[in-house]
């Protein structure tokens, strides 16, 4: 593992998840998780902002089994840059119940996309937090070109950005060539509320069927600890706006967590308050991810 100045070590997840009170439906999907390591074989990028512990496929599958979740989407973490080796190996190890979201070079060609698609990748992630061209400005030209390149494969573009920093989000992405996925309930900075222009823009994109929102990582945007009560209104606003465009993910192994490490059973049980209706949970946990990631019915 390479050393990186200013890249603090992350606490490991709770490797003894408890069974949640929530009963997940058959074919439920965790739409946001990362596999990391082993660091002894797969070095991290030198310019990373955190240093994670080894969090491997058997650890992750044990967590899914305890929750009762059968499908998953692995998202390329920033600590590997555009080297998707660990994620692709994890997809091969895990089998057809897993899909992937890759991080790629802007210049990726059709042959490279086809090779990734054959291995289970169904989208590309762009960390706008790192590549934006100015506060409140999307690198829209590069994003649109990348989107046009992946569009023939049915892929989406997942953006990691703070929606409250982009008041013109709905206008900027209104004619985007592919669907856009937003993680962490819009990833607003703690204290930003649902009335911010960027969050309203996200709601508009969801209502138009142009975007998806992941109900993930509430601890990234909350002022409080479990059950992250200040995040509940945001979750309800997203679900009310577009129940067909909402997804759920564990964000395992919680690498950007600041504060006590929660048990994944407790995190799963947040859905009892976020989505109290069983029929809506079926849609968010099963039907929506099947549409976006191409799982069989």
Answer whether residue 214 is part of any domain. yes
Return the CATH number at 190: 3.20.20.140
Q: What is d(CA 194, CA 234) in angstroms, rounded to the nearest whole number?
A: 6
Q: Of 45-59, 115-129, 185-199, 282-296, where does mean pLDDT reach its minimum?
A: 185-199
Active site residue 251: yes
Residue indicated by tokens 């650890």: 59
- The answer to whether 130 and 104 have CB atoms below 8 angstroms apart is no
Residue 296 has pLDDT above 70, yes or no: yes
- The answer to whether 91 and 120 have CB atoms below 8 angstroms apart is yes
Answer whether residue 7 is part of any domain. no
* Among 163, 177, 169, residue whose Cα is nearest residue 204: 169
Query: To the nearest whole percent, how much of the chain has pLDDT over 70?
Result: 95
Answer whether residue 13 is part of any domain. no
Q: What is the pLDDT of residues 225-254, one digit of tens each?
A: 999 999 999 999 999 999 999 999 999 999
Answer whether residue 54 is part of any domain. yes
Q: What is the pLDDT of residues 63-107, one digit of tens each?
A: 999 999 999 999 999 999 999 999 999 999 999 999 999 999 999
Q: The tokens of 55 are what?
A: 């969090």
- The answer to whether 102 and 121 have CB atoms below 8 angstroms apart is yes
129: domain range?
29-293
Answer whether residue 237 is part of any domain. yes
More confident residue, 221 or 130: 221
Q: What is d(CA 19, CA 66) in angstroms, rounded to the nearest whole number?
A: 5
Q: What is the pLDDT of residues 261-279, one digit of tens each?
A: 999 999 999 999 999 999 9
Q: What is d(CA 249, CA 185) in angstroms, rounded to the nearest whole number?
A: 11
Domain count, the chain: 1
pTM above 0.85, yes or no: yes
pLDDT band at 189 (very low <50, low <70, confident <90, very high): confident
Answer whether residue 20 is part of any domain. no
Answer whether residue 17 is part of any domain. no
Query: To the nearest whole percent, how much of the chain has pLDDT over 90?
Result: 88
Measured CA distances, 141 to 33, 120, 123 (Å)? 29, 27, 18
pLDDT band at 134 (very low <50, low <70, confident <90, very high): low
Residues 9-33 have a mean pLDDT of: 97
Catalytic annotation, pick one of 251, 266, 269, 273: 251
Residue 288 has pLDDT above 50, yes or no: yes
Residue 131 has pLDDT above 70, yes or no: no
What is the pLDDT at residue 281?
A: 98
Q: Of 27-36, 46-55, 185-194, where does mean pLDDT reach its minimum?
A: 185-194
Answer whether residue 101 is part of any domain. yes
HSE value, Cβ hemisphere, 13 Å, CA-based, for 253? 24
What is the pLDDT at residue 4?
A: 54
CA dihedral sign, ordered 225, 286, 208, 176: positive
């Amino acid at each position: 593992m390479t050393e990186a100045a200013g890249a603090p070590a992350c606490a490991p997840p709770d490797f003894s998840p408890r069974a949640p009170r929530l009963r997940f439906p058959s074919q439920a999907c965790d739409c946001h998780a990362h596999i990391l390591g082993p660091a002894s074989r797969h070095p991290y990028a030198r310019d990373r902002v955190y240093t994670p512990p080894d969090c491997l496929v058997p650890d992750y599958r044990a967590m899914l089994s305890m929750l009762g979740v059968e499908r998953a989407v692995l998202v390329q973490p920033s600590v590997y840059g555009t080297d998707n080796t660990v994620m692709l190996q994890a997809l091969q190890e895990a089998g057809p119940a897993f899909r992937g979201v890759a991080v790629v070079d802007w210049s990726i060609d059709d042959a490279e996309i086809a090779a990734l698609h054959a291995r289970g990748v169904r989208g590309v992630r762009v960390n706008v937090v790192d590549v934006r061209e100015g506060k409140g400005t999307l690198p829209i030209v590069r994003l649109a070109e990348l989107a046009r390149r992946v569009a023939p494969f049915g892929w989406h573009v997942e953006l990691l950005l703070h929606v409250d920093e982009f008041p013109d989000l709905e206008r900027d992405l209104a004619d985007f060539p592919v669907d856009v996925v937003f993680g962490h309930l819009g990833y607003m900075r703690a204290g930003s509320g649902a009335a911010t222009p960027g969050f309203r823009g996200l709601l508009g994109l969801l209502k138009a069927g142009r975007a998806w929102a992941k109900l993930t990582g509430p601890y990234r945007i909350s002022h409080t600890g479990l059950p992250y009560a200040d995040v509940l209104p945001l979750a309800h606003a997203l679900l009310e706006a577009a129940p067909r465009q909402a997804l759920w993910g564990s964000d395992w192994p919680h690498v950007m967590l600041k504060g006590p490490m929660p048990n994944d059973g407790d995190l799963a049980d947040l859905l009892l308050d976020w989505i109290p209706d069983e029929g809506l949970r079926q849609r968010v946990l099963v039907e929506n991810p099947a549409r976006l990631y191409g799982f069989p019915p």
